[in-house]
Structures are given as C-alpha cells and as structure tokens.
Structure 1
Amino acid sequence: MTTNKRDQKELEQQYQNWKDGTLKKALDRFPERKEEFTTVSNIPVDPVYTPLNEDTDYSEDLGFPGEYPFTRGVQPTMYRGRFWTMRQYAGFASARETNKRFRYLLDQGQTGLSVAFDLPTQIGYDSDHAMAQGEVGKVGVAVDSLEDMEILLDQIPLDKVSTSMTINAPAAVLLAMYIAIGEKQGIPKEKLAGTIQNDILKEYVARGTYIFPPEPSMRLITDIIKYCSKEVPRWNTISISGYHIREAGSNAIQEIAFTIANGLAYVDAALESGLDIDEFAPRLSFFFNSHLDFFEEIAKFRAARRLWAKLMKERYGAQNPKSMKMRFHTQTAGCTLTAQQPNNNIVRVTLQALAAVLGGTQSLHTNSRDEALSLPTEESVQIALRTQQIIANESGVADTVDPIGGSYYVESLTNQLEEEAQKLIDKIDDLGGAPKAIEQGFIQKEIQYSAYEWQKSVEEEEQIIVGLNKYQVEEEFDLTTHKVDQSVADDQRKRLKDLRDKRDNDTVENKLSELKKAANGDDNLMPYIIDAVKEYATLGEICGALREVFGEYEADSYI
C-alpha cells in the first residue's frame, strides 16, 4: 500500500508528466462535463487515483478480515462461509396478515424476519386510543398485546429464525412479548436470537417516535442491556441507527459520525450502570443506509467499521475482539426512491444493495420499487428479494472477501471519510457527548443544513435524478399498489375489548402498579414489564404507566 521515497518521487514525476501531456491534450479537445467532481458528501473526486492518494499502512489500517481493525470485514471468510442474512422489512394491517407475509417471504428464501410496526405501536398507544385514529395498521403491523404477538409469530420457530424489530421507545415491551412467546413455544431465553432497534437518541434528531424524555429513555435502554447480557445472551440489545439520520438528509460523513457518537453515549451509559465493556459491547449492532454514491457508500462502511474498532480499543480499553467488531444491518435508501417511473427504483436498489455487500454488511433489506407510492405488493417484494439472491448467487462478488480492497480510490475515500467523521465526533465530544449535542440542537441543525443542500442540488439539476428532474416521460399510473383495509382498525378495537373482558383485570392492575413503583425506584424494569405482558397488559397500558412516572418528551424547534 505504501511506496518508498524513491518510488514515490518517480511516481510523482510520472503523474505530473501525464497531467501536462496526455491529460492536457485530451482536455483541450474534450473538456470535462463538470468544473468539479465530488461525492454526494462533497469530497472532491480526482480524475485518477494512484498510490500517491493513499496514506495507508496495510498492517495498521487494513489488516486481514476478521482481525483488528476489521476494515476488511468482521469475519475471516465473510460470504464464503455463508451469505448475509436476507431480512426483508415487513409489517402492515393486522398480525394475521403480516404473519401471512412473513411466511410468504420465508418460503421465497428470506433468511430472517424484520418487523415493521404501525405508528401507534411505535409511540406506545393501543389501537383504540384517540391518538391512533387513522393510523392503525398503515405503516406497519398493529401490536397491542401478547395476543397479537402470538398471531404474528404463529408457526414461526423462534429457535431457528432470528427476528429484528424496528421499535424504539417501547422496545422493552415488544422484547418482553417476544420472550413470552418463546416461553410459550418451549424455547429458553438463551436460545432466542434477534435485534431490537432500541436507539432512542436518533429519534430525537431524525425520526420522532419518542415517548419519554432522554434520561428515563436511557434508563430503559441500559435496563434492557443489563437484563439481556445475563438472560438473553444471543439478543442484540440495540441497533444503533444511521439509517434514519441519512433518510432525514445527512451526508455519509454525518451518518458515520452521528451514529457512532450515539453509540458512544450508549456505551457510556452502560458503563455508568456498572457493566464491563466486554460484558455488553459484543451484542451492540448497527444499522446503516446504502445511498446513491456507489464507491462512497462502500468506503463509508469500511471507514465506520475501522473507526468503531479504534474507539472501542483505544477509548474504552476493550479486550475482547468481539467488542471491537461493528456488525451492521443495511437497508437501501428509501429517500432515493421516486414515484415517477417506479421501475427505475429496481436499478437504484440493485446498485445500493451491491454497495452494501461490497462494504461487508451482515444483513440486508432491499426496498421495493413501489414504496414511494404505497406499502409494497407481493410481486414487488419478490423482485426486491430476488435482487439480493441474484447478487449472492450469480454475480461472483461474494466469492472473495473485500473485493474492492486495495482500490486506490476506495482506500483514499475510506481514509477521508474516517478523518472527517472523527472531526465531527470530536466536536460532539467537546459539546459533552451526543445527548448534550442533541439538547443544544447541534446535530439537528447539521442534518437540516445538509438536507437543504441536497434538495437545492436536485432542484438546480446539479444532482440528476433520472425520471424526476431529467429524462421525464408522460406516464399513466398503471402499477397495482397495496392498500390496507380500513376495517383493520375496527377489528383491532373489537379484539382489545374482548381481551379486556376475558383477562384477569385485577392481576393486570397489580402488575401495572408494581411496574410504576419500580419505575419510581432503581430496579431493572424488564422483569416487571415481562410479568405485565404475560398477564396480557396491553402495550398502551404499560407505556401509560411509565408515562405517569417519566412524563413525555416535547421537542424544541431548531429551525
């Protein structure tokens, strides 16, 4: 990777000769189509890359797959051993309909479940609450109680399938339901495998499905981490998400920096609660976006992996190599999908999925072509899954580890992304860490400015979006879209009424009282939530009990 001084001097002279001769002649005849080329994150792109662009020590900065600093991958064999988990995000309407979609996807070759919950579930309201009106089952599945979870996971063997749940503020409640279902299936807690997103800090800056203020929210997260480290050791207790930060408008540098800064805050909170770094860090996981700039995205994944490894080792003194491994799920960029010419989205998703695989992801969701219009149809979901399967089985890119490693361009980009992300993390450290930076609006304003710059570049046609601001066609809308039946909300309300009529309401009230008492103290709340769930206390009732103790978060405006 490095050259000695003599070779470097010779190469510098050869490069200058090329610029003054061959390149100048070509530019005199055929000027370049832009005055300046940059990545999506505004990193300048040179016309050609050579060893002069690199400042990389192979042993220290790259190493070998499965070894520190994990730039080339967290596993020694990567996809030569087994492919990434093909985990298509799904959830809509009722638990019964979503269970049908899960089983369809598993029959089509999906290798893990990923649950999308509706908005009321995400913010801790039952389907019969006034705040849930018009939103039940719309952007995900409605889960009000253990009864819904029983239907959702019917005939799905939890000891053979890992499940990811995109849930944050009420993550403890949904995890409690999952543990209870495992118990009903006769599966001990230590055999359950999966992930809860459980990343509340990014909700305050990018997504908005928060319930409680930051301090009690962080308590719930550390309670989950402590409980699972002993009781559910195969469970990934948090998926620190850059995906939504990117969807909100950040660039690749910000996605790395803000995601890792949030991760450091969770590590600090767990350490303050009395855990040892190597006790919980191996179960931390991440979730990234795969956006439009193909090579920048590959470099982004490699830079993030190396930066996290260094921080775990140098800042926290982690000894276990597993504590230094950044394992992550990737989803293709929903914000890049267009309602115009929706079949173009198949191509976009293919390139984004390929970048994720070349960047070394552990699991992947590919968006469907129609998601700018509606929830995806079965046909569109099948195309999205087949995209992954073709990359895995037909392209050959999974046959060697880190096939882009050693590219002068990719290694240079990897170094620049890591360096710029570290500068942003240093700024956040100076502000007192991610929670303080969020309180001061620093992260929010950075994302807002980046989103503005992106939108401006699209509107001024500096960034071409095929079919949107260039190559438009007159088109008639003829794509069949998926619609959620309005009767779902009525059915959920009826089922909730029936549940409350048949359960032991005195026992439920006792369990909720015990939970409130524990919330006022410093006990770990997970056992209390699990006890309440098993008695069929609803999600809304449990979150309501915690609201009485913790209060609700109200966001400030930083515009």
Structure 2
Amino acid sequence: MEEGGGGLATEKEIWEKRHFRGGKNAERQETFRTDSDLSIARVYTPSDLEGMDYAEDLGFPGEYPYTRGIRPNMYRGRFWTMRQYAGFGTAEETNSRFKYLLAQGQTGLSVAFDLVTQIGYDSDDPLAEGEVGKVGVAIDSLADMEVLFAGIPLDKVSTSMTINAPAAVLLAMYVAVAEKRGIGPEKLVGTIQNDILKEYMARGTYIFPPAPSMRLITDVFQYCAQNLPNWNTISISGYHIREAGATAVQEVAFTLADGIAYVQAAIDSGLKVDDFAPRLSFFFGAHADFFEEIAKFRAARRIWAKIMRERFGAVDAKSLMLRFHTQTAGSTLTAQQPEVNTVRVAFQALSAILGGTQSLHTNAWDEALALPTESSALLALRTQQVIAHELGVADSVDPLAGSYLLEKLTNDLEEEVWRKLDKIDELGGAVRAIELGFQQKEIQASAYRYQMEIEQGKKVVVGVNKFAGEETPPQGLWRTDPQVETDQKEKLALLKKGRSAAVVKAHLEQLQRAAAGEENLMPYLMAAVRDYVTLGEICGVLREVFGSYEKDSFVRG
C-alpha cells in the first residue's frame, strides 16, 4: 500500500477529465459524504493509501493493532454470539421468552430491565407508578432474579445485563442465584453494562453523582478480578451515544474517551492495568451507512490497541483487544411501513459482522411501535442465522480488507476520532468534558443536523420522506398488561412480610457505614441480596450517603 504514488494520482486526474469535464456523466448530487460528514470520492485507487504501512496499520487478524479482528480465525472458528435483547413484564414472562429464544438457536442471553429497576427503585415506590415492566423486566430482589433464570444453566449460557447505575447490585443478585444452585462464580460468563458516563451525556438513567458512581464501577472491577475471572466487568457503550444522535466518529471518540476514564480510575484505585483490562468490553450500534460502519469498527479496534499499549503500558495482548457487542440501530426503525425495518436490520447486521463483532442483537421490525412479539423476535434472530449459514461472509477473516474505499474510510475515521480524543484530553478528560457539556452539545448538534436533512429531503428515509403511501396499521403488536404492576407489587409485599426486619436493618446499616468509608462495597451487596434486601432499599441507602445526580447539580438525599 506504499506504492502507487504520483503517477497513479495523475492518471486518475486524466481519467476524471476525460469522463467528467464539461458536464459529461452528470451525477445525482454535487458532493457525497458519509453520515459523519466524511467526504466520499468518486473512485479510490492505491494513491489514496500512500504512506499506509500494512504491518503497522493492518497486520494480521489476532495480532496488533487488531484492525482486522481480535481472533486469528474469527468466525471460521465459531460464529459471533447471537444475543437477542429481551425483557418485559414479570420475571416469569421474560424467563419464558428466554427459553423460547434459546430453543430457536440463540446462543446468549441479554436482559432488558424496566426503567424502575434501571434507576434503583422498587416496583412499589410511588415514582414507579405506571412504569413497572413496560420496557423491560421488573427486578426488585433476588426472588425475581431466581425466577428470571429458572431452568437456565448459568454455567453453560453467557448472560449480558443492560444495567448501569445499580449494576453492582444486579451482578450480586446474579452471582447469588448461581451460588444457590452450586455454581461457583468462576464458572459464570457474561457482561454487565456498568457504564455510567454515557448516561450523563446521552441516556439519563443515572442515580448517583460521577465520583461515587465511578467508585462502584472500580469496586466491581476489583471484585471480579478476584472472583469472576470470566465476567466482563463493563460494556462501555457507544450504542446509546449513537442513538441520541451522535455520528459514527463521535460514537467511537466519546466511547473510547469513557474507556480511558474507566481505565485511569481503576489504576488510580490501585489496580494494575493487566489485571482488569482483559475483561473490558464495548457496545456499538450498527447504522445504515454501510461502509462507514464497517470502517468504524476496524478503526475503533486500532485506536484502542494504541491507547492501551502507548498510554497505559498494557502488556497482556488481551488488554489491547477491543471486544464488542453490536446492536442494530433502533433509532433508524420507522413506524411508517414498519416491515421495511427488516431490510434495514439485515444490512446493519451485515456491517457489524463484516466489521468483526463478537456478539450481535438484531432489532425486530415492530420495535418502533412496541416491544417485539414472539414472532417478530424470531424473525430478527433468523436474520442473523441466515447471514451466518447462507451468505458465506463468515468464511474469510476481514474479507473487505484492501478495499481502497474501506481502508481510506478507516484511516479518515481514525484521524477524526483522534482529534476529538485530543480535545477531550485538553478539557480535562471525559468526566470533566461531560461536566462542561462538551459531548452533549456535540451530540445535540449532530442530531439536529441529521433531522433537518431528513425534513429537507437531503437524506432519504424510505417510507417516511420518499416512497410513502397509504398503509394499514400493523395488527397484533405487543402491549404490557396493566395487571403486571399489580402482580409485581403483591409479590414484593409478600417478600417483605416474610423476611426478618432485623436482618434487613442490619444489612442496610452495614452497607451505609461501608459506603461512607472506602471499603469495596461488593461483599456488602452480596450479603444483603442473599437475605432478600431489595434493590430499592439498597439504592435508597446509597442515595443517603452519595447523594443524587440531577443534570448539572448534586442533590443530597
């Protein structure tokens, strides 16, 4: 790729003059750009890759800088984990959906929790009114967690939990469920999202201020390094940043900046980088700009490898590998002509696979309107299975490598990401930049630009601003039964009635003292959940000690 200098560039100029001078071969628009506003040339040649060194910039799969993938044989060894995100209503209902998907060939679980659980309240809290079980499963205590995973072999299935502010508590419950079945923590494989920084900038399901939130995260890092060697202690999420309106460049830059902050916080807490970094994982979205998305995944791997080796001095090869889960883009799904979403999802999933993802969730076609039905969830899973078994795209590692377009996009995207990372460093790091509103303002500006392009017809969304027409509203959409909230409250009341009030009080007092000090909180959380202290009770005590975060101000509980 070092070849092809000035001579080829000159030949390209001659070719363009021959075919495009004087208005010949008119094109659809004056310029072509990606969703991140990167320029797309008419054609690419080796001259666009001058100075690129194969060994330094690409290398072989499974070797630094991991541009071409983190495994030498990638999907030739085994396919990515097909991990469909699911959760609604009660633990019983979600357990049934899990078993259905596993029976249909899903290879990993991914738990969606309701908003009440995500922000650390119990289902009987007045603030929970009307929200219990609506966008995920309601989990108040270990009793619910036991039902959620009933009949599922936790030592044979990997589980991902999309939970952030109270992630340490839900992890404690999961470990306690396994313990009760005689399954040691060393046999558990899975991930907790546990990524609070993106909540402040893009999503909003935070509880505590940044400092104590970071403490909880590093407590999990330390506890898992000692007790759960196969557990991914964090899934640093760009997905929600992208869903809020960020570009591909911003998604990678802000996610990796958060990763830098977590690594530094763990090191500052006394951990050695190679003791925890191999269990860091990431989470990205797969959007519609096909080649930019593939380039995004490749660039992210290369950048992270450089950060870990050059900035943090990591030596373990696993510390340098950016392992990531991907979800197709919920924000691109349309309520108009919703069946077309199946096509969008298929191509987005393909970009994630060609980009080297380790696991994948494909959205159901009806998710712009409701939670997926059993049949729409099955079709989403079948989409992955068709790509895996019928297309042949998994038979060669990084099959698009060497494409002049793809390599140039990977280089351009990497360059733009480094610029944003440098800017965040100048501002004092990811946490300080969030406090200053830097990432939030950038995301808002990108989201506004994207929406204006749709409204002005500059960006086509099929069925929305072009090729629209009369349509019959889809039938049979999933709806939450209002009885779910009543049933969950009744179960919680019975649980509380059957516990020892003195034992619960003792656990909460011990947790309060530990939170006010500097001890690792995980052992206290483990002890509390084993005796069925609830999520809301635990988070209530932590709110008293840590305070609550409300956008730009701290409010003491």
Alignment of 1:96-245 (within 5 A): 96-245=92-241
- Residue 266 of structure 1 is matched in structure 2 by 262
Q: Name structure 2 gaps, 5 residues minimum.
A: none
1:132-162 superposed Cα distances (whole Å, 9 cap, x missing partner):
0000000000000000000000000000000
What residue in structure 2 maps to residue 34 of structure 1? 29
Q: Report how many aligned residue pairs link the two structures.
A: 552
Residue from 347, 352, 355 that aligns with 1:356: 352
Deviations 1:450-507 (A, max 9, x none): 1000000010010000000110010111332001110000011101110011111211
Equivalent residues of 2:6, 2:47 under 8 A apart = no
- Structure 1 position 43 matched with structure 2 position 38: yes
Report Cα offsets for 1:99-147 as digits up to 9, x if no partner. 0000000000000000000000000000000010000000000000000
Q: CA–CA distance in 1 between the matches of 2:159 and 2:82?
A: 11
Please give the residue correspondences for 1:24-103 in structure 2 after superposition, counting only pairs within 5 Å: 24=21, 27-28=23-24, 30-55=25-50, 56-103=52-99
1:288 aligns with 2:247: no
Q: Does 1:12 align with 2:5?
A: no
User: Which residue does 1:22 correspond to in 2?
Assistant: 19
| Counterpart check, 1:255 vs 2:251 | yes
Distance 1:490 1:342 in 2: 32
Of 485, 497, 515, the match for 2:481: 485
Q: Percent identity?
A: 64
Deviation of the 1:190 alpha carbon = 0.7
**Offset of residue 542 of structure 1:** 0.4
Q: Which amino acid aligns with 2:6?
A: K
Which runs of 5 or more structure 1 residues have no equivalent in the other structure? Answer: none
C-alpha deviation, 1:362, in angstroms = 0.1
- Counterpart residue type for residue 59 of structure 2: G
Q: Is residue 536 of structure 1 aligned with residue 508 of structure 2? A: no
1:13 CA drift (Å): 2.4
TM-score where L is the length of structure 1: 0.98
> 1:17 Cα deviation (Å)?
1.6
1:526 to 522, 527, 535: 522
User: How far has the Cα of 1:184 moved from its partner?
Assistant: 1.0
Separation in 1 of the partners of 2:17 and 2:470? 47
Q: How does 1:369-518 map to 2 (within 5 A)?
A: 369-518=365-514
Work out whether residues 20 and 26 of structure 2, in 8 Å CA contact, stay in contact via their aligned partners in 1: no
Shift of 1:37: 0.5
CA distance in 2, matches of 1:543, 1:345: 38
Report the secondary structure of 1:343's partner residue: helix
| 2:142–2:534 Cα contact (<8 Å) kept | yes
Query: Partners in 2 of 1:321 and 1:553 — Cα distance?
Result: 37
> Partners in 1 of 2:388 and 2:99 — Cα distance?
22
Report the Cα distance in structure 1 between the residues aligned to 2:171 and 2:313, rounded to whole angstroms: 30
* CA displacement 1:287-307 (0-9 Å, x = unmatched): 000011000000000000000
Shift of 1:553: 0.2
Task: Give the TM-score, by structure 2 length.
Answer: 0.98
Residues in 2 aligned to 1:470 and 1:13: alpha-carbon distance in whole angstroms: 40
CA shift digits 1:189-212 (9 cap, x unpaired): 111110000000000000000000
Distance, in Å, in 2 between the alignment partners of 1:68 and 1:277 is: 18
State the alpha-carbon separation in 2 of the partners of residues 177 and 280 from structure 1.
22
